[in-house]
Structure 1
Amino acid sequence: MLKALLAPLVWLLRLLLALIILFEEWGWVPLSRLLARLGDWPPFRAFAPWVRGLPPYAALALLVLPSLLIIPVKLLALWLIAHGRVVLGVGVIMAAKVVGTALVARLFQLIQPALMRLRWFVPLYQRWSAWKQELLAWVHAQPFWRMARVIKRQLGRRLRQAWSKRR
């Protein structure tokens, strides 16, 4: 009986987690590419080789740094919201999330080899990857996801047709 009562709650929790992961996945690759391009800019050019050369625990500490640096920005956003500037506060939180995701994505690409030298990190990373793939497969099997993909394809086709007629 308890299992039947909790089933909708578990489904909702899985969906929320999946949406968070999908957002991260959606932003991970393009944002990482953008930061890689910025890394080619002369002032930042020496940063990537330096990061790649870090020992494993220094690399891990560097990976945590963007999360710590974003805390004051989020506090500022909460202050803005508390003082009636809701749209600006939410905008600051969203911008911080995008910038934080971009930094973590790029840093992880650079330091993953160092992290894989940590004996305890490898099984955690493998478990996380397997769990994430299972969760994403579950989302992709849901009717709303399949319907959204069809709508996205149709919308994309219509936009391309409208764009080609405009030219």
Structure 2
Amino acid sequence: MNTLKKILRSLLLAPVALFLLFEEWGWEPLAAAFAALGRLPWWGRLERFITGLPPWAALLAFGVPVLALIPIKLLALYLFGQGHITIGLGLILAAKIAGTAMAARLFQLTQPALMRMAWFARLYTPWKAWKDKLIAQARASWAWRVARRLKTRLKLAGARLLAALKAVFSEG
């Protein structure tokens, strides 16, 4: 019975782990890309304003833009229903990437204020611990290790191919 429970748990947690890994993979690089906008004077002022918000306003600053993407995702579903699969898929992907970038950066800016709300800290702290544990388990898995080795080999092969192409074109 214990083995069956472990198998069922793994099957149920696998999609959640994949979602969390995607979020984790995209969260930092996308937040960094969005943070690069902070070099623009007006964008930097906006970020400093957001950072100084009180907790309730920080929650609005974080939540409202994320919720504003829901109509875009609904439009994508409508487009799917109308047979515009490519446009709908493109819209979903663009909304997911933009939404992740925006949410990641806004969370970086608002997290200190959000953590001052007891209910948020009480929910966020165990959520973060659970998520980190699940991601660590996924990264320790055989499939993850094989994928990492494959990724490393592909990057090396790509670098060699690029170097060879540069050598060929620089000779001519």
TM-score normalised over the length of structure 2? 0.89
2:28 aligned partner, one-letter code: V
2:146 aligned partner, one-letter code: M
Segments of 5+ residues of structure 2 without an aligned counterpart are: 167-172
1:53-75 CA-partner distances (Å, limit 9, x unpaired): 11001101221112211111011
Q: Classify 1:6/1:82 alpha carbon distance in 2 versus 1 (closer, same or farther; 3 Å).
A: farther
Q: Determine the structure 1 residue equivalent to 2:52.
A: 53
Q: Determine the structure 2 residue equivalent to 1:127.
A: 126
Give 1:5 deviation, angstroms.
4.7
1:79-118 CA-partner distances (Å, limit 9, x unpaired): 1101100111011111101111111100011111111211
Residue 120 of structure 1 aligns to a residue whose secondary structure is helix
Q: In the aligned structure 1, how far is the partner of 2:118 from the partner of 2:74?
A: 36
1:15-71 CA-partner distances (Å, limit 9, x unpaired): 111111111111111111111111322332320111011100110122111221111
How many corresponding residue pairs?
A: 166
For structure 1, which segment, 123-132 or 47-56, has the greater mean C-alpha deviation from structure 2 after superposition?
123-132
Q: Determine the structure 2 residue equivalent to 1:141.
A: 140
Q: Determine the structure 1 residue equivalent to 2:17.
A: 18
Q: Determine the structure 1 residue equivalent to 2:83.
A: 84
Residue 118 of structure 2 aligns to a residue whose secondary structure is coil
1:139-160 CA-partner distances (Å, limit 9, x unpaired): 1121111111111111111111
Q: Determine the structure 2 residue equivalent to 1:36.
A: 35
Q: In the aligned structure 2, how far is the partner of 1:6 from the partner of 1:96?
A: 37
Segments of 5+ residues of structure 1 without an aligned counterpart are: none
Residue 115 of structure 2 corresponds to residue 116 of structure 1: yes
TM-score normalised over the length of structure 1? 0.92
Residue 62 of structure 2 corresponds to residue 63 of structure 1: yes
Q: Determine the structure 1 residue equivalent to 2:74.
A: 75
For structure 1, which segment, 114-123 or 155-164, has the greater mean C-alpha deviation from structure 2 after superposition?
114-123
Q: Classify 1:78/1:154 alpha carbon distance in 2 versus 1 (closer, same or farther; 3 Å).
A: same
Question: Kindly, what percent of the aligned residue pairs are identical?
Answer: 46
Give 1:4 deviation, angstroms.
5.1
Q: In the aligned structure 1, how far is the partner of 2:72 from the partner of 2:138?
A: 32
Q: In the aligned structure 2, how far is the partner of 1:93 from the partner of 1:52?
A: 29
Residue 46 of structure 1 aligns to a residue whose secondary structure is helix
Q: Determine the structure 1 residue equivalent to 2:169.
A: none
Give 1:10 deviation, angstroms.
2.0
